[in-house]
Amino acid sequence: MARGDGRLTHDINPQEKGPQDACGIFGVWAPDEEVAKLTYFGLYALQHRGQESAGIAVGNGEQILVYKDMGLVSQVFDESTLNTLVGHVAVGHTRYSTTGGSHWQNAQPTLGATPAGTVALAHNGNLTNTAELLDIVRERVGSASGELRYGNTTDTALMTALMGSYADRTLEESAIEVLALARGAFSLVFSDENTLYAARDPQGVRPLVLGRLERGWVVASETAALDIVGASFIREVEPGELVVIDADGLRSHRFAPAAPKGCLFEFVYLARPDTHISGRSVHQTRVEVGRRLAREHPVEADLVIPVPESGTPAAVGYAEESGIPYGMGLVKNAYVGRTFIQPSQTLRQLGIRLKLNPLREIVAGKRLVVVDDSIVRGNTQRALVRMLREAGAAEVHVRISSPPVTWPCFYGIDFASRAELIATGLSTDEICRSIGADSLGYVSLDALVEASTVPKNDLCRACFDGVYPIEPPARAGKDVLEQETIPGCETPDRDGLARAASLGDPADGLNSLLSAGGAADALRRP
């Protein structure tokens, strides 16, 4: 059965990869609740943050049961599988890969042995000192441990291995030590057999929020996931904070001073519009960006249309501010998220029509303002402009609700390389000519920051201005660990990991994988 590859979900043009999302993480501590199902629905709400693989680990006080596989949340799990994952604490993950390739061994949550049992860890973000942490793992463990041994090449697996490397400490104490060693962007949810943990890097680059159930607690990447499971929002997990939740309640540790640098691109594209960040609705922010875009780049036109759905809120704001009517000039096929059938050359030439089609009776003869969230290579906008002109548009004015993206991200978003970013080598006028528009305008960085209502110094703006709040890695890319030789590492395959689980090898921290039905099957299914 074909499974999701995570590459086409948001791409309107199949030939152009847009900015790929960070991962989605979810954790719940709730005795007497069906925590696996709560986690499933939480991950469903976070599917936009990663579409390559999904997994859930459940602790029942004695062991951790895990089920993970490649594909979307709805492809990986069904009701019978979730019914085998019984316990009171759960950790879930939906992945887009930034360190470690997109293959089964790298699906999360990642498991590792601890002196008292097992840790299951899910990570949103990207570390910048991965090579340094690998050296520490080599020194402390002496050989590959846990999932590293079976071909896991993620920075998450390094943190999991380190958390089990303190023989005389509890997981809570070990986590504080490991979190202080890590650099870069990391929002984490993890658990042992009894307790739920959540942590956020000192800069708080990636989001993480805390919610309350009637009989438990929830941690998630976005407030929208709290809404889905009926949890009330309590607060954000603070930068540099470790939260611990067990039968004794909730307690907090500070492992580093807070130096907030939240990701500005969350407001532009990554987060769901019904999510709240820093107390403000993302939808409200995007509408306000549209208003500011209209003030900065006015134009005489007949109709404002969005590129659905990412450009919709800003298009609403642009229309409100400019007084130009808002309309739907493009129809999106809601069921084309990814395709496993390679199109013929004839079909390939149709390009973005697989996903978008103009409403000819709406756009014909009109001067259009087309609002989108960003331009990466420019191929999508070039095809859109051509399509609208073929449908009879008199003029096409493109407006972008973010500044030009000119720098790569090292903190969990996968942009094109800097050489591929169209704004790196061309001016706005040159980009306008390249995509064939009558005019082109980007919102300014200051206007975007002001619309977010977050102080500029508390935001990471590196993809727009090249100012990195955390030192970038000396060597970046998904294959950082795949190019390393890890002592004791076996040939990465599913069967090896399945054998370790079946044998219950405590040295690997995989003995807790054993369960009836679903979880064992997850280790063997193709």
Token representation of residue 223: 């407030």
Pick the last residue of a domain from 456, 484, 499: 456
Q: What pLDDT shows up at residue 2?
A: 40
Which pTM value belongs to this model?
0.86
Residue 38 identity (one-letter amino acid): L
Whether residue 92 is found in the same domain as residue 64: yes
Find the helix or strand (DSSP H, E) in which 290 lies: helix 282-296
* Residue 4 within a domain: no
* Residue 525 within a domain: no
**197-220 pLDDT, tens per residue?**
999 999 999 999 999 999 999 999
On whether the CB atoms of residues 21 and 50 are closer than 8 A, the answer is: yes
Whether residue 293 is found in the same domain as residue 399: yes
Answer with the residue of higher pLDDT: 47 or 525: 47
Any known ligand binding at 479? no
**437-456 pLDDT, tens per residue?**
999 999 999 999 999 999 99
Whether residue 52 is found in the same domain as residue 180: yes
The DSSP secondary structure of 91-154, one letter per residue, reads EEEEE--SSS-SSGGG-SSEEEEETTEEEEEEEEEEES-HHHHHHHHHHHHSS--GGGGGT--S
* Residue 147 within a domain: yes
Is cis: bond before 309, omega within 30 of 0?
A: yes
The Cα 400–Cα 292 span in angstroms is 11
Any known ligand binding at 432? no
Number of domains in the chain: 2
Whether residue 160 is found in the same domain as residue 250: yes
Among 328-337, 403-412, 422-431, whose mean pLDDT is lowest? 328-337
Whether residue 254 is found in the same domain as residue 308: no
Any known ligand binding at 373? yes
Any known ligand binding at 310? yes
**361-384 pLDDT, tens per residue?**
999 999 999 999 999 888 889 999
The Cα 268–Cα 147 span in angstroms is 35
Active site residue ranges: 23
The CATH number of whichever domain residue 195 belongs to comes to 3.60.20.10
The Cα 485–Cα 203 span in angstroms is 31
The Cα 35–Cα 43 span in angstroms is 12
Q: Which strands form 184-191's sheet, in the order they lie side by side?
A: 110-114, 117-127, 184-191, 196-200, 241-246, 249-254
* Residue 96 within a domain: yes
Whether residue 316 is found in the same domain as residue 241: no
Whether residue 430 is found in the same domain as residue 375: yes
Answer with the residue of higher pLDDT: 105 or 211: 211
Pick the last residue of a domain from 427, 456, 485: 456
Any known ligand binding at 463? yes
Whether residue 251 is found in the same domain as residue 291: no
Any idea which residue has 């496993």 for tokens? Answer: 340
Whether residue 117 is found in the same domain as residue 180: yes
Return the number of other C-beta atoms located less than 10 Å from residue 280's C-beta: 16
Answer with the residue of higher pLDDT: 278 or 461: 461
Among 21-30, 51-60, 61-70, 451-460, whose mean pLDDT is lowest? 21-30
Residue ranges of E strands in 240-364: 241-246, 249-254, 262-263, 276-277, 280-281, 303-306, 330-332, 356-358
Among 64-78, 272-286, 381-395, 489-503, whose mean pLDDT is lowest? 489-503
The CATH number of whichever domain residue 418 belongs to comes to 3.40.50.2020
The pLDDT-based confidence of 419 (bands split at 50, 70, 90) is confident
- Residue 289's domain comprises 277-332+351-456
Q: Indicate the Cα dihedral angle 255, 259, 262, 263, nearest 10°.
A: -100
Whether residue 307 is found in the same domain as residue 235: no
* Residue 159 within a domain: yes
Pick the last residue of a domain from 219, 234, 261: 261
Whether residue 49 is found in the same domain as residue 172: yes
* Residue 166 within a domain: yes
Whether residue 312 is found in the same domain as residue 406: yes
In whole angstroms, how far apart are CA 89 and each of 23, 218, 245, 295, 317? 20, 10, 10, 50, 42
* Residue 177 within a domain: yes
Share of the chain above pLDDT 90, in %: 66
Is cis: bond before 109, omega within 30 of 0?
A: yes
The Cα 106–Cα 214 span in angstroms is 34
**125-147 pLDDT, tens per residue?**
999 999 899 999 888 875 567 78
* Residue 486 within a domain: no
Q: Is the pLDDT of residue 345 over 70?
A: no
